[in-house]
A and B are shown apart, each in its own frame.
Chain A
């Protein structure tokens, strides 16, 4: 049925352009209809995107599928080129899944300038879907930067008290990283032109460029810094708690669920295949694993003493992303697959946690843990949803959180047992930060009179949370369909990492000569 509609040919374009259309529609419409319009647009996008699950066929190998390319800036060889592989497939689905829920979750939260807000949410969706489906480095970079703008305004306008500080910090910090990446991109492009004579930003073309180990190291550094800030990896993480605490609930949801994934996605998409020699260099691997493990343990400890529930969850994000990083740099199938699963699982569970904390905030206008207590008595459904989500977050087996962490740790342990043991201790600390918070908020005596007034979940909120919880459990019980779709692409990345050899001087020379010859012939 999908092929009858030529689904493969238009779906990716639709996923990018429909939300953009929606953006304008929302801006055009009346203020009080904005939220419903935005919800409808994002739902349409989500429903359309579901078909990707079947449209993407892992049997065809791990390369890009559903590709299409139009020349954009022909002089520079920039193409508007889209495509999906097993890695980006789930990131796109995660984005289209999260956006409508985040929009639905902001119905009560966003009171002022609704039109602008919902338009920005849709614009954000354009950006993230674009990032994950671009197969042209230039296009990727454009979308990568595009996501900054809506998020900057979402935090800066609808945020909490220190919103401006947080928004600027978020923007400058991440932009700073990506500018270094831009330098790297241009360098690769220039090398491609010089060595191969191709003026192209297409991933497939850039992968052919024989870069020397030194070059790879520098480029790796430039790209890695950009993505490490985005992820964020340990010493670059301080923008995240600030941004999360100040951001409005839907902003936090999208930030945690999708934007952070752009960083780790970049690791898998660029760092490993583009600079394999650097990525598998023992020093680099050691560094990344160390930072990842520090992130896991350090963030867990810092999270445990946070007085603000939202900040706590923000720090847990750092810990989870630490798992992803070590999974990726385990450089084996289990680790990579595990890392990708943690990304998916973290997207859903942390998104849900932020939504839940947002719901608490709407009811009590505070997020300080000590202000709560005994909420389970007056809001049992809310408490149930929260406890389930928290358990997923700490990786209870049978939920999505476990599968990812298990594979990640298994992968790390395979190649680096010592690191594996340290990282596995993260499962203890996950309980150490999460359970006290759950207890202080939902259990204990219902003492404060304000807490007595807290309402339970409304029907709208049930509609938001139910699919998320269902998905967390379904993925936990039966992750194989996901793993099956990711595996060929993951294998391809790994093959590239391990097969790559440093180009000899002779090779570069011969390539260059060939290029010169072809150029001469053409002229």
Chain B
């Protein structure tokens, strides 16, 4: 059952991704993007990362994508778009490079992951944590203990980003 679900989510995710790249309309791209994010969230659930799946939907698909949408609408890009995919040469080069990367990744994966799965079985520990602290607690515990400094810095980063965004987007007086 999870396998089937995984392949469905994966198909939607890849399809969404392709849609993002090929859609002419930014709004369409955005909606494809939401589809990809949502299906990735589904895969997160399958991988027992419930909390992340939740904030993927809430924050990513919910907040950030809406932010994009606002911008698109604000800039009036919803219609009257033009074809902005590059020409053949750029296409060929782009495909060559990305294909190269893909090939290399495939080559790496070609060695299989069996070794990893057997040797590094942290799944039990995660399951135990999930049982003990719940989906949120399992991730919150390391976040507020070992990684608290990074966490706080992330907060600071977001603050700076907000200030910067306002400063940039504000109309020059």
Does A touch B (CB under 8 Å) in the complex? no
Listed in ascending order, the chain A residues whose CB lies under 8 Å from chain B are none
